[in-house]
């Protein structure tokens, strides 16, 4: 590992060279920069180091890495490390990209030049069981948070994939379990500790720095600060989580879309409907030998087991069971068991091209995508598309940067088995993005490639919110210390 002493030595040489010949610059400036580096107790990795590429590659969770290379990577181990890193970057002219756990599919924490500030070792959780709140650090993962708060009688709309870290998930919105009832996760942020571009640590809440609280509720990977901790509002643990799952042949797509629309119109908020298209059956065969089918999951979050069963009645009384080639109904689960056996999670590190839309016509969008999938399938048979029906509980979102632009959500994920698959995946995605454009009402910040599709990030917000975010960036980061969105200056 590259030691602090060696880094400081190299940095000193660079600083000295930079200031040579500038007689009016006080020597004390260079000394202050050297002193700041001495205060950083975490790992410091420079691009010239022999182990740099191992560290760079580890910063994103996915197998295939973009060709973007930060000058310096700092893995912070303390709050003071973050403050000193921000101060050093600002005064050295380095732009900062902050990383929590590296799950953003655009791999946005990797930028050319500047500093990558890694906060993945911040995994603390402080629970106030009486108040129903918790302070969490950005590196804690979704499933781990659920395990920690559940014994206290509390839960949270954590990510559907248990290993997703909560730092980036929250600031980009947070499409989680039982979202129709509990709302998008970022709306449950009630406070945050943030290090700003000027090195100050502030607390954002409804009482102080309320504009920053508004911003971190959905701004996504373009935030102009580093969040040290989030304070979350928790929710009582559902006592009746019941799941029914159905496999429906692809040739019945038109009928299925109609049935799902009817179920959605009649369901209560505590019933979640997910429809996934992929090669899932027979499960004992390799993906390339499986049939392309629909896997529909209906999950209820009831106050009791009987309530959970009752919530599934719109599904049970629909045509869905009779349309299914396979089904498993009324399985009683605990919250942690929701994370077990999700095949789409197994291939997650292979994801290369990802896109999403909010839509008011999920049937039309899914039919279009499924037809294209069958005619010209993606290179990897493990690619899939996911839809969530009727998950917009609150279009009144003035208290957050996040913006609902449709009642239903659709995302699709192209896998790469080898590096040669990456560019063909992007070309396939370009064509599908164009095909689904008539159905798109907006996008979700956490699952778009804003470098390839730069118009999509603006479509995540209303025009008023986009302008307000730009004004806040000028207010809190006038010198542009923190990187904006990938693909934006």
The answer to whether residues 352 and 383 belong to one domain is: yes
Domain boundary among 57, 91, 118: 118
Lowest mean pLDDT among 85-99, 329-343, 384-398: 384-398
The answer to whether residues 245 and 367 belong to one domain is: yes
pLDDT tens string 101-139:
999 999 999 999 999 999 999 999 999 999 999 999 999
Instruction: Check which CATH number belongs to the domain holding 102 and give it.
Output: 3.30.43.10
Name the helix (H) or strand (E) containing 253: helix 253-266
The answer to whether residues 436 and 295 belong to one domain is: yes
pLDDT for the residue numbered 132: 98
The answer to whether residues 35 and 130 belong to one domain is: no
Lowest mean pLDDT among 20-24, 79-83, 451-455: 20-24
Q: How many domains does the chain have?
A: 3
Span 144-167, average pLDDT: 96
pLDDT for 2 beyond 50: no
With respect to residue 56, please indicate whether it lies within any of the assigned structural domains. yes
pLDDT tens string 227-282:
999 999 999 999 999 999 999 999 999 999 999 999 999 999 999 999 999 999 99
pLDDT for the residue numbered 1: 41
pLDDT for 14 beyond 60: no
The answer to whether residues 80 and 137 belong to one domain is: no
pLDDT for the residue numbered 396: 67
The answer to whether residues 202 and 288 belong to one domain is: no
Domain boundary among 101, 118, 135: 118
pLDDT for 12 beyond 60: no
Q: Which residue has the higher pLDDT, 488 or 422?
A: 422
With respect to residue 197, please indicate whether it lies within any of the assigned structural domains. yes
Domain boundary among 64, 87, 118: 118
Phi (first) and psi of residue 298, to 5 degrees: -120, 120
With respect to residue 466, please indicate whether it lies within any of the assigned structural domains. no
With respect to residue 359, please indicate whether it lies within any of the assigned structural domains. yes
With respect to residue 212, please indicate whether it lies within any of the assigned structural domains. yes
pLDDT for 345 beyond 90: no
The answer to whether residues 250 and 346 belong to one domain is: yes
In terms of residue numbers, what domain contains 194?
125-236
Question: What is the C-alpha to C-alpha distance for residues 141 and 164, in angstroms, rounded to an integer?
Answer: 5
Peptide bond into 392 cis (omega under 30): no
| Cα–Cα nearest to 324, from 249, 253, 259 | 249
pLDDT tens string 168-196:
999 999 999 999 999 999 999 999 999 99
The answer to whether residues 218 and 271 belong to one domain is: no
pLDDT for the residue numbered 30: 60
pLDDT for the residue numbered 25: 45
Burial 321-359 (b: 16+ CB within 10 A, else e): eebbeeeebeeebebeebbeeeebeebbebbbbbbbbbb
pLDDT for the residue numbered 17: 41
User: How many other C-beta atoms lie within 10 A of the C-beta of residue 10?
Assistant: 15
pLDDT for 6 beyond 60: no
Task: Tell me what the pLDDT averaged over the chain comes to.
Answer: 92
Enter the pTM of the model: 0.91
Query: 79 exposed, middle or buried (CB, 10 Å; 0-12, 13-18, 19+)?
Result: middle
pLDDT category of residue 18 using cuts at 50, 70 and 90: very low
The answer to whether residues 44 and 193 belong to one domain is: no
The strand pairing partners of 388, in sequence order, are: 274, 409
With respect to residue 474, please indicate whether it lies within any of the assigned structural domains. no
Question: What is the C-alpha to C-alpha distance for residues 111 and 447, in angstroms, rounded to an integer?
Answer: 18
pLDDT for 34 beyond 70: no
The answer to whether residues 278 and 420 belong to one domain is: yes
With respect to residue 489, please indicate whether it lies within any of the assigned structural domains. no
Instruction: Check which CATH number belongs to the domain holding 224 and give it.
Output: 3.30.465.10
Q: Angle at CA 433, nearest 5°, toward 218 and 162?
A: 45
Q: Angle at CA 105, nearest 5°, toward 456 and 123?
A: 120
Span 470-480, average pLDDT: 97
Cβ neighbours of residue 362 closer than 8 Å, sequence gap 6 or more: 257, 260, 261, 387, 389, 408, 410
DSSP 119: -
Given a contact cutoff of 8 angstroms between Cβ atoms, the answer to whether 215 and 472 are in contact is yes
The answer to whether residues 216 and 83 belong to one domain is: no
Q: Which residue has the higher pLDDT, 489 or 462?
A: 462
Provide Rg for the chain, Cα atoms: 23
The answer to whether residues 295 and 430 belong to one domain is: yes
pLDDT for 74 beyond 50: yes
With respect to residue 468, please indicate whether it lies within any of the assigned structural domains. no
Phi (first) and psi of residue 420, to 5 degrees: -65, -10
Given a contact cutoff of 8 angstroms between Cβ atoms, the answer to whether 267 and 314 are in contact is yes
| Cα–Cα nearest to 353, from 3, 106, 185, 117 | 106
Phi (first) and psi of residue 175, to 5 degrees: -80, 105
């Amino acid at each position: 590992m590259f030691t602090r002493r060696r880094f400081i030595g190299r940095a000193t040489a660079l600083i000295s060279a930079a200031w040579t010949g500038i007689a009016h610059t006080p020597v004390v400036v260079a000394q202050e920069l050297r002193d700041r580096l001495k205060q950083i107790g975490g790992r410091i990795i420079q691009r010239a180091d022999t182990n740099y590429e191992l560290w760079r590659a580890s910063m994103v969770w996915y197998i295939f890495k973009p060709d973007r290379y930060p000058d310096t990577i700092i893995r912070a181990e303390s709050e003071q490390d973050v403050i000193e890193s921000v101060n050093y970057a600002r005064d050295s002219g380095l732009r900062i990209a902050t990383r929590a756990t590296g799950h953003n599919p655009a791999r946005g924490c990797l930028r050319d030049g500047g500093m990558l500030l890694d906060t993945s070792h911040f995994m603390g959780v402080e629970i106030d069981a009486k108040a129903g709140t918790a302070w969490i650090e950005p590196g804690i993962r979704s499933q781990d948070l659920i395990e920690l708060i559940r014994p206290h009688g509390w839960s949270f709309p954590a990510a559907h994939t248990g290993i997703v870290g909560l730092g980036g998930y929250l600031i980009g919105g947070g499409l989680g379990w039982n979202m129709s009832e509990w709302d998008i996760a970022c709306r449950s942020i009630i406070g945050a500790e943030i290090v700003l571009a000027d090195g100050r640590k502030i607390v954002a809440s409804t009482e102080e720095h309320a504009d920053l609280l508004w911003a971190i509720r959905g701004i996504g990977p373009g935030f102009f600060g580093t969040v040290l901790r989030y304070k979350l509002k928790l929710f009582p643990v559902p006592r009746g989580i019941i799941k029914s799952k159905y496999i429906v042949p692809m040739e019945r797509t038109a009928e299925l879309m109609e049935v799902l629309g009817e179920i959605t119109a009649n369901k209560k908020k505590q019933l979640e409907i997910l429809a996934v298209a992929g090669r899932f059956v027979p499960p004992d065969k390799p993906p390339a030998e499986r049939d392309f089918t629909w896997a529909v999951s209906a999950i209820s979050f009831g106050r009791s087991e009987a309530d959970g069963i009752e919530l599934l009645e719109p599904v049970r009384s629909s045509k869905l069971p009779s349309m299914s080639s396979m089904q498993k109904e009324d399985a009683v689960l605990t919250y942690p068991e929701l994370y077990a056996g999700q095949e789409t999670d197994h291939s997650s590190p292979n994801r290369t091209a990802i896109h999403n839309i909010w839509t008011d016509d999920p049937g039309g969008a899914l039919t279009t995508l499924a037809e294209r999938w069958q005619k010209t399938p993606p290179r990897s048979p493990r690619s899939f598309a996911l839809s969530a029906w009727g998950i917009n509980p609150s279009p009144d979102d003035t208290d957050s940067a996040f913006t609902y632009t449709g009642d239903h959500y659709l995302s699709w994920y192209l896998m790469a088995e080898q590096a040669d698959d990456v560019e063909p995946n992007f070309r396939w995605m370009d064509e599908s993005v164009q095909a689904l454009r008539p159905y798109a009402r907006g996008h979700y910040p956490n699952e778009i490639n804003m470098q390839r599709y730069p118009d999509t990030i603006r479509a995540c917000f209303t025009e008023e919110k986009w302008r307000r975010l730009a004004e806040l960036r000028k207010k809190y980061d006038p010198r542009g210390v923190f990187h904006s969105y990938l693909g934006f200056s």
